[in-house]
């Protein structure tokens, strides 16, 4: 029996690595597999790569018929996440919502008992509404997403929970904070690229510019491990789990972490407009449920993540 990992990118590669290290042989299903980048993270001799598109249900049906699949971990999403969805909302809605629905429907149809679906911490701060005293009979009681990406993730969570309720699919969801970590292939979001630019600047030039926004992060190795913990856990009523470093990183926190990881670096907060981060009053993700149900605690703080990433990146810098 094998676990089907849908999406072989920044996080899917780490999930596959964790599965291999635990003695399992995952099947990685991706529209455009990147064996070169994957091979830098996981031993390709111990995984199976399958090309397939979540928007083509017959592709999913073919692999589920052919392989003995015990469960699915679904990480695929439209490229560049929030930025990508804002630029091409129709495509992002199709991939994120209909693609996930195809995965869940395939699981229900073929009797795949367990599915992990990736969600996002944007649902904790890219929201407005929730007024009218929470009176569901009034117009503004429901919190509403403020970006297309957040809207897709809210829809995905609702659809997935109803597949658990009505179609007997054991669905679990993990909400990632902004993810960064080892990866040389295509994919990832804006935070991934910014993180790499800061580390490369510190390593090449002894300088790094930090975005002037607060961001809650998770290192990709922790994201992979936490996702596998969610897959393996025995769950009852709890089906959505937060995964992060455990705290929001302010620009000043990030500067300090860079100086710890790269002694002597000239790390400064960048002035002017930049990427969208958490608003000043945003709360950090509550990790208590993930710790108690999944046994998850982050292994990397920000300085540790920076050091690990730098060690991985050093031989790859040209």
CA dist 229 and 213 (Å) reads 30
Q: What are phi and psi of 119, to 5 degrees?
A: -120, -160
What is the pLDDT, as a whole number, of residue 273? Answer: 58
Taking the C-alpha atoms of residue 235 and residue 278, their distance in angstroms, rounded to an integer, is: 30
For residue 42, count other CB atoms closer than 10 A to its CB: 24
Reported as type and span, the H/E element at residue 252 is helix 251-261
Scan for tokens 């149900």, then name that residue: 293
CB 78, CB 8: distance < 8 Å: no
Q: So what's the pLDDT on residue 238? A: 95
Kindly report the pTM of this predicted structure. Answer: 0.95
- Confidence band for 129, pLDDT divided at 50, 70 and 90: confident
**Per-residue pLDDT reduced to its tens digit, 264-295:** 999 999 876 555 556 656 678 999 999 999 99
CA 213/CA 254 separation, integer angstroms: 10
**pLDDT tens digits for range 180-237:** 999 999 988 888 899 999 999 999 999 999 999 899 999 999 999 999 999 999 998 8
pLDDT > 70 in the chain, percent: 97
Higher pLDDT, 275 or 51: 51
* pLDDT for the residue 279: 60
What are the structural domains of the chain?
Answer: 2-182+217-245+283-299 (3.40.50.720)
- Calculate the alpha carbon distances from 150 to 111, 140, 210, 232, 304 in Å: 30, 18, 24, 27, 29
List, in sequence order, every beta strand (DSSP E) within the chain: 2-6, 27-30, 48-51, 69-74, 114-120, 127-129, 143-145, 170-176, 178-180, 207-210, 215-219, 240-243, 248-249, 266-269
């Amino acid at each position: 029996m094998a676990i089907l990992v849908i999406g072989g990118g920044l996080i899917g590669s780490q999930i596959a690595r964790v599965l291999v290290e635990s003695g399992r042989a995952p099947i990685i299903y991706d529209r455009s597999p990147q064996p070169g980048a994957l091979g830098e993270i996981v031993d390709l001799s111990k995984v199976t790569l399958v090309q397939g598109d979540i928007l083509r249900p017959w592709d999913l049906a073919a692999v589920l018929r052919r392989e003995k699949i015990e469960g699915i971990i679904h990480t695929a999403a439209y490229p560049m996440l929030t930025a990508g969805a804002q630029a091409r909302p129709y495509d992002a809605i199709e991939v994120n919502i209909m693609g996930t629905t195809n995965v869940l429907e395939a699981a229900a149809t073929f009797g795949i008992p367990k599915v992990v679906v990736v969600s996002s911490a944007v649902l904790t701060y890219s929201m407005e509404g929730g007024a009218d005293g929470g009176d569901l009979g009034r117009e503004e009681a429901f919190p509403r997403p403020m970006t297309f990406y957040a809207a897709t993730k809210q829809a995905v969570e609702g659809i997935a929970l109803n597949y658990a309720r009505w179609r007997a699919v054991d669905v679990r969801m993990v909400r990632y904070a902004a993810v960064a970590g080892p990866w040389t292939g295509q994919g990832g979001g804006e935070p991934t690229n910014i993180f790499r630019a800061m580390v490369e600047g510190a390593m090449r030039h002894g300088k790094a510019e930090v975005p002037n926004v607060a961001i809650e992060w998770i290192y990709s190795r922790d994201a992979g491990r936490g996702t596998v913990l969610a897959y393996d856990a025995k769950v009852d009523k709890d089906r959505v789990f937060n995964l992060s470093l455990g705290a929001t990183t302010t620009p000043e926190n990030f500067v300090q972490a860079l100086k710890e990881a790269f002694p002597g670096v000239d790390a400064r907060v960048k002035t002017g407009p930049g990427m969208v981060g958490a608003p000043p009053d945003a709360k950090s993700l509550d990790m208590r449920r993930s710790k108690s149900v999944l046994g998850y605690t982050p292994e990397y703080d920000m300085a540790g993540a920076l050091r690990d990433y730098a060690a991985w990146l050093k031989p790859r810098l040209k």
